[in-house]
């Protein structure tokens, strides 16, 4: 085990054996081998406390929210709104009403593109994204630009996978309405200098959306400190159930925006002639929300808070350093994305085998990784590869699991060469 | 069951390393572009069909993809050369059913010859499209599809 895990303080940041016991799925075997789960960038596993919280809620406390005048519903509503407060606290949002629940980041970005974009982006305006975005933070802006006759501009990246900030500055101008970039790239692991991106965007008069799908589970995020206008996240990538996520937005922006999905719960009053909208966040949460999933999200946030985001960041950083060193030693392996600031994601290609074959082969050793374009085809095109294999680590991964990964990769190379 | 004799048999590894008919046909009578949007596999299949006899005189492919898709394309082109168009369609149909697990070449009659080595694919649902992309693209070429063939 590398020194960095034990060096800094007497107590390791993460009690790995205890943490692993919290995640029942991790103790299973796959094809007769212990599961080595390294697809945390796609989705994360659930700790027992989340599983139990969801079970208990469904078994004993379930009811609709914001509607019923009976005890179950009133209690469920309180618990539901309590999670909104937890999310606000977790991300440093000043007001819980600035948190809108969605089904995840994809819906969150679409919400902003629709409700903010349609209203405030006009013909001739410009929207800036980067070359290393998920399709979820690309396609909604492309469509918006097409509809509005606006122009989509792209921050280029250097060979290591870092945004070229001088080019970003050149792209900004009086026509820039919105900048939308990820905090952490899911395809490469790059941690973008979002604070600087936000400040410069604001200086040019633009609003800035941060796609936090990959940062929310890896580091402490403080939206107030960042001063972003929107920050999106997905529960299933932060140890919570799938089907819930959300977006933080500044209240004055929410108030200026019209609804996205329409229907029940988002109205103040409906007559056959006219509808007036409810206040945020209800205005943006039409229909019955993912109630149980929100409750599970609350439990996941409690769990992450207890472990400590700074501890998670430190531990995952040493995993990244260790894994990077191991993979760099393998002949015929090339890491795509060598930014100075990275989250615990390693994307790589082999001379000998295609990422899809690598994925199937590693699976036989119990190692779960992702092979493909990671919904980031413009990133793949930039680096001249059709796809990569991606190992994305969590604080529940062990150092020796990365040894298993490296060993398994060597076997693939041997078989395919 | 281990991978090196089920999914990645020696034949597949060999065809991946040295694919047959991996080239363009200059004056192809038919060609079509196929993609698998999930994994980015991308290929073009070319055929030179004798119009009178309805026989595949030459068939080839170019593109990028995983070992399964490359080996499948390579073996397909080798197998279909010299076949009549009617035979090609029967073989396509049987191959398609086999990789989906709807036809067992050990139990049912078929015309797949050594192509039956792709039988194991049915146990890897995420990979069946890798094996069938070349076939769908080939049929797309014969049907004179002008748009791209996609496995999705
Ligand atoms: C950076 C990034 N943005 C957006 C998304 C989309 O998130 P979801 O699928 O949870 O909506 C992902 C998930 O893969 C992602 O990694």
Confidence (pLDDT) at B5: 52
Mean pLDDT of B89-112: 94
- Give the separation between CA B85 and CA A288, rounded to whole angstroms: 55
Confidence (pLDDT) at B4: 46
Measured in whole angstroms, how far is the alpha carbon of residue A400 from the centre of its chain?
26
Q: Report the 3 state secondary structure along B28-68.
A: CCEEEEEEECCCCEEEEEEEEEECCCCEEEEEEEEEECCHH
For residue A44, give Cα distances in angstroms to A329, A373, A396, B82: 28, 19, 10, 51
Confidence (pLDDT) at A276: 84
B68·A377 Cβ contact <8 A:
no
Block residue for tokens 């509005």: A148
* Averaged pLDDT of chain B: 91
- Residue A281 · residue A111 · CB < 8 Å: no
Mean pLDDT of B13-31: 95
Domain residue limits at B122: 3-143
CATH assignment at residue B95: 3.90.1010.10
Per the DSSP assignment, residues forming a β-bridge with A207 are A178
Instruction: Give me the number of domains chain B comprises.
Output: 1
Measured in whole angstroms, how far is the alpha carbon of residue A168 from the centre of its chain?
23
DSSP, res A303 = H
Helix (H) or strand (E) holding A415: helix A399-416
Architecture field, domain A3-47+308-411: Alpha-Beta Complex (3.90)
CA-A211 nearest atom, ligand 1: 3
* Residue ranges covered by each domain of chain A: 3-47+308-411, 51-306
Confidence (pLDDT) at B19: 96
CA-A107 nearest atom, ligand 1: 11
Q: Is 60 exceeded by the pLDDT of residue B88?
A: yes
- Give the separation between CA A405 and CA A411, rounded to whole angstroms: 10
Q: What φ, ψ does residue A384 adopt, rounded to 5°?
A: 70, 30
Q: Is B148 among the domain residues?
A: no
Interval B33-79: pLDDT, tens: 999 877 778 999 999 999 999 999 999 999 989 999 999 999 999 99
Interval A331-363: pLDDT, tens: 999 999 999 999 999 999 999 999 999 999 999
Q: Is B149 among the domain residues?
A: no
The CATH T-level fold of domain A51-306 is 3.40.640
- Give the separation between CA A386 and CA A379, rounded to whole angstroms: 10
Q: Is B68 among the domain residues?
A: yes
- Give the separation between CA B123 and CA B68, rounded to whole angstroms: 14
Confidence (pLDDT) at A10: 52
- Give the separation between CA B103 and CA A27, rounded to whole angstroms: 37
- Residue A119 · residue A257 · CB < 8 Å: yes
Interval B120-140: pLDDT, tens: 898 888 889 999 999 999 999
Ligand 1 pocket, mutate which of A112, A234, A246 (most atoms under 8 A from CB): A234
Confidence (pLDDT) at A8: 47
Q: Supply the pTM of this predicted model.
A: 0.92
Interval A104-138: pLDDT, tens: 999 999 999 999 999 999 999 999 999 999 999 99
Confidence (pLDDT) at B59: 98
List residues of A with catalytic annotation.
375
Helix (H) or strand (E) holding A388: strand A388-392
Ligand 1 contacts (CB < 6 A) are A 104-106, 134, 136-137, 182, 186, 211, 213-214, 234, 245, 375
Ranges of residues in chain A with a pLDDT under 70 are: 1-12
Q: What φ, ψ does residue B121 adopt, rounded to 5°?
A: -55, -30
- Give the separation between CA A115 and CA A127, rounded to whole angstroms: 15
């Amino acid at each position: 085990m590398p020194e960095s895990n034990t060096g800094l303080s007497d107590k390791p940041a993460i009690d790995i054996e205890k943490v692993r016991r919290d995640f029942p799925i991790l103790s299973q075997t796959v094809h007769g081998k212990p599961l080595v789960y390294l697809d945390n960038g796609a989705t994360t596993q659930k700790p027992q406390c989340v599983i139990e919280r969801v079970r208990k809620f469904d078994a004993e406390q379930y009811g609709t929210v914001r509607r019923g005048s009976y005890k179950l519903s009133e209690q469920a509503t309180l618990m539901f709104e309590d999670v909104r407060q937890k999310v606000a606290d977790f991300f440093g949002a000043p007001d819980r009403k600035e948190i809108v629940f969605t089904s995840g980041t994809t819906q969150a970005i679409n919400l902003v593109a629709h409700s903010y974009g349609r209203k405030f982006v006009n013909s001739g305006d410009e929207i800036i994204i980067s070359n290393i975005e998920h399709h979820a933070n690309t396609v909604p802006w492309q469509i918006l630009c097409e509809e509005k006759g606006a122009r989509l501009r792209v921050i280029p990246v250097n060979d290591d996978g870092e945004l070229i900030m001088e080019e970003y500055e050149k792209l900004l101008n009086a026509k820039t309405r919105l900048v939308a970039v990820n905090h952490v790239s899911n395809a490469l692991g790059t941690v973008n200098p979002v604070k600087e991106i936000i400040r410069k965007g604001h200086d040019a008069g633009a609003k800035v959306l941060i796609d936090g799908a990959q940062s929310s589970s890896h580091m402490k995020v403080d939206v107030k400190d960042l001063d972003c206008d929107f920050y999106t996240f997905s529960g299933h990538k932060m140890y919570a159930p799938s089907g819930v996520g959300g977006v933080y937005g500044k209240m004055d922006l929410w108030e200026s925006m019209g609804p996205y999905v329409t229907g029940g719960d988002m109205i103040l009053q409906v007559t056959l002639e006219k509808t007036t909208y409810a206040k945020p966040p209800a205005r943006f949460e039409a229909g019955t929300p993912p109630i149980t999933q929100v409750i599970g999200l609350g439990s996941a946030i409690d769990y992450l808070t207890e472990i400590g985001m700074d501890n998670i960041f430190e531990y995952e950083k040493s995993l990244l350093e260790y894994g990077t060193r191991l993979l760099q030693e393998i002949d015929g392996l090339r890491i795509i994305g060598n930014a100075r600031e990275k989250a615990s994601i390693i994307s790589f290609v082999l001379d000998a085998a295609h990422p899809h074959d690598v994925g199937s082969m590693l699976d036989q050793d119990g190692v779960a990784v992702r092979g493909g374009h990671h919904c980031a085809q413009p990133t793949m095109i930039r680096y001249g590869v059709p796809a990569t294999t991606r190992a994305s680590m969590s604080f529940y991964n062990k150092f020796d699991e990365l040894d298993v990964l490296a060993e398994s990769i060597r076997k693939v190379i041997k078989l395919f060469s | 069951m281990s991978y090196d004799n089920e999914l990645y048999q020696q034949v597949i590894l060999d065809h991946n390393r040295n694919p047959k008919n991996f080239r363009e046909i200059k004056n192809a009578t038919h060609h079509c572009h196929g993609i698998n949007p999930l994994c980015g596999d991308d290929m073009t299949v070319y055929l030179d069909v004798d119009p009178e006899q309805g026989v595949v005189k030459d068939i080839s492919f170019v593109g990028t993809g995983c070992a399964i898709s490359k080996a499948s394309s390579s073996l397909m082109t080798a197998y279909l050369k010299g076949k009549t168009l009617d035979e090609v369609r029967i073989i396509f149909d049987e191959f398609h059913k086999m990789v989906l697990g709807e036809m067992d070449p050990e139990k049912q009659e078929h015309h797949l010859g050594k192509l039956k080595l792709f039988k194991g694919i049915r146990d890897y649902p995420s990979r069946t499209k890798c094996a069938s992309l070349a076939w769908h693209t080939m049929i797309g070429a014969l049907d004179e599809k002008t748009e791209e063939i996609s496995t999705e």
